[in-house]
Structure 1
Amino acid sequence: MKYFEERGHLLTEQANPNSQDLDQLTSLELVELFNQEDQQTLKAISSAKTQLAQAIDYTTSALEQGGRLFYIGAGTSGRLGVLDAAECPPTFCTPPELVQGIIAGGAGALVRSSEGLEDRLEDGVEAIAHHQITNLDVVIGISAGGTTPFVHGAIQGARQRGATTILIACVPREQVSIETDLDIRLLVGPEILAGSTRLKAGTVTKMALNIISTGVMVQLGKVYGNRMVDVAVTNKKLHDRAVRILQDLTIMSRKEASYLLERSGRRVKLALLMHWTGLDQEKGESLLTAYRGNLRAAVRSCTQGSENSN
């Protein structure tokens, strides 16, 4: 496809006038230049805040109805999607299938460059079919330059199946347009090293994915205040964090918090509900299920129930 072969006009491929003497800079000057240019990532996020909020709302609604979230990309973009998806289960105790990352070339492309595979539009379509994506799902295509055929194919395939589609790109819409339900443009300008989109484009993409996935999990009740009360207690560090969360949100000693954590099956959210309401593990689990895992709503229902009985 000729359109995808001619990319010189793209913002992500242009030379940055601020770094034209890059090979003559001292190490300190290079670091200072990076720091200066990275300020563009914050501006780009601010400019796209409305679209990022819409992405959170679309995805939350889909997941509440039984859908899934898929990130799909190639190269750096694909790796960032896989990374964000992989971090959801330990942080929010989500099942692995709820948020998934798809990268052109599969798992091998995570550790070894396989950028040639991004040129196969049909592979993107096939990836969507392979994961049996439906109208309940959300597919976020990630492409710094916006032209990756693999991503275009995936979005086309997802739209045909009725899924909600979102594009994240770092070029203006007038340079590359694609039909999606939501179009997020993170304009950070030309890279310090021309065309190396693992730099500012990669950084701003990671920021955007952090915002989207965390925002969705907050909306789904995976967070209480600013604490990750659905943390998966799978190692010593996370066990310590779970105990500290219990201590911070209650007046329990470390010994008492550790005991309660074990009684709840190492589930921080359930432990807090048991402590605040006096419910046993079984009744606490039932109440959380009734309120779709929303701890605040579950606690409030008990409080209101007590007030009504009085």
Structure 2
Amino acid sequence: MKNKLTTEEPSVYDDLEKMSTFDLLSNMNAEDKTVPYAIEKAIPSLQKLVDVIYEKMSTGGRLFYIGAGTSGRLGVLDASECPPTYGVDDNWVIGLIAGGDTALRKAVENAEDDTTLAWRDLKKFNINEDDVLIGIAASGTTPYVIGGVKKAKQKNIVTGCITCNENSPLSMAVDYPIELVVGPEFVTGSTRMKAGTAQKLALNMISTTVMIKLGRVKGNKMIDMQLSNKKLVNRGVRMIMNELNVDEITATDLLLEHKSVRKAIDAFNLLKNE
């Protein structure tokens, strides 16, 4: 019987072990080039999901990601990068992976097959109707993810998904499905490749657009970024210099005093207008 999951279909390439290094790299690159086109087709669906996330988060809601394996790791990664990039609270965007943090480095046996585990994980964060839950699964069949979004929907929580198959059980279970159909993988079934890349791009687009709409970017700058290393401090100084048209010493003093690019700019402008 033919497998109906595009992500599980045989690679269009064969005899990979006989290819030269150059051919392996070139053929993988050729496959990767198809990913942005799959994303482009999904922009209308992404827009609907982003708008509802913004609506919920602008009134105090949070964004949750759940996934297993590569999909779960990508969700945790996106969530973990929001606080340092945009200066938001650690609990604004929350990523959960089947099997817990241990699964970030090592597979946890049977965790993704448990249909009740995701909801137990989500309840620890008191997820509620103010929040949005996105399930991430390349196949669209992961029990951990499907169980989680179904339970959330029963609780009147807005649900979305990111999957790489059409009309999957996961898509059918959520309010806002995102389907990124990238076709068979270069290595058959290895969804950490094109499917993972597509999911990462979609997550980048979702969280970045939401944060911009929430006012966490000024012009094109990360005005609320955490100043956690010298590179970011230097970037902050340059941002203040450009925004206020002041010299480096003044910008540095402002940043050291206020510990935030936004606060430094606001304080300077307030003083200037008094």
TM over 0.5: yes
Consecutive unaligned residues of structure 1, counting only runs of 5 or more, are 1-5, 280-301
Structure 1 match to 2:131 = 137
Query: Aligned ranges for residues 1-310 of structure 1 at < 5 Å?
Result: 8-17=3-12, 19-114=13-108, 116-173=110-167, 177-264=171-258, 266-278=259-271
SS at match of 1:229: coil
CA deviation after TM superposition for structure 1 residue 8, in Å: 3.1
CA deviation after TM superposition for structure 1 residue 22, in Å: 1.6
Paired residues, what number? 274
SS at match of 1:121: coil
Moved more, 147-156 or 240-249: 240-249
Consecutive unaligned residues of structure 2, counting only runs of 5 or more, are none
CA deviation after TM superposition for structure 1 residue 252, in Å: 1.2
CA deviation after TM superposition for structure 1 residue 210, in Å: 0.4
Letter in 1 for 2:214: L
Letter in 2 for 1:68: R
CA deviation after TM superposition for structure 1 residue 113, in Å: 1.6
Please identify the structure whose Cα radius of gyration is greater: 1
Letter in 1 for 2:189: G
How far apart, in 1, do the equivalents of 2:191 and 2:227 lie? 36
How far apart, in 1, do the equivalents of 2:77 and 2:46 lie? 19
CA contact (8 A) 1:13 1:195 kept: yes
SS at match of 1:202: helix
Cα distance change of structure 1 residues 147 and 175 upon mapping to structure 2, 3 Å threshold: closer
CA deviation after TM superposition for structure 1 residue 130, in Å: 2.4
State the TM-score, normalized to the length of structure 2: 0.95
Residue deviations 1:214-261 (CA, integer Å, cap 9, x gap) = 000000000001100001112222111111111222311111101111
CA contact (8 A) 1:246 1:252 kept: yes
CA contact (8 A) 1:74 1:115 kept: no
CA deviation after TM superposition for structure 1 residue 9, in Å: 2.2
CA contact (8 A) 2:171 2:178 kept: no
CA deviation after TM superposition for structure 1 residue 155, in Å: 0.1
CA contact (8 A) 2:161 2:170 kept: no
SS at match of 2:75: helix
CA contact (8 A) 2:141 2:169 kept: no
Residue deviations 1:83-123 (CA, integer Å, cap 9, x gap) = 00000010001110110000000000001122621011011
CA contact (8 A) 1:105 1:114 kept: yes
Cα distance change of structure 1 residues 141 and 7 upon mapping to structure 2, 3 Å threshold: farther
Moved more, 24-33 or 177-186: 177-186
Cα distance change of structure 1 residues 7 and 219 upon mapping to structure 2, 3 Å threshold: farther
How far apart, in 1, do the equivalents of 2:131 and 2:56 lie? 6
How far apart, in 2, do the equivalents of 1:24 and 1:45 lie? 32
CA contact (8 A) 2:241 2:248 kept: yes
SS at match of 1:141: strand
SS at match of 1:256: helix
Output the aligned Cα RMSD: 1.8
Residue deviations 1:130-150 (CA, integer Å, cap 9, x gap) = 221100000000000000000
Letter in 1 for 2:120: E
Residue deviations 1:38-66 (CA, integer Å, cap 9, x gap) = 01110011000111122221111111111
State the TM-score, normalized to the length of structure 1: 0.84
How far apart, in 1, do the equivalents of 2:162 and 2:81 lie? 19
Moved more, 91-100 or 166-175: 166-175
CA deviation after TM superposition for structure 1 residue 23, in Å: 1.7
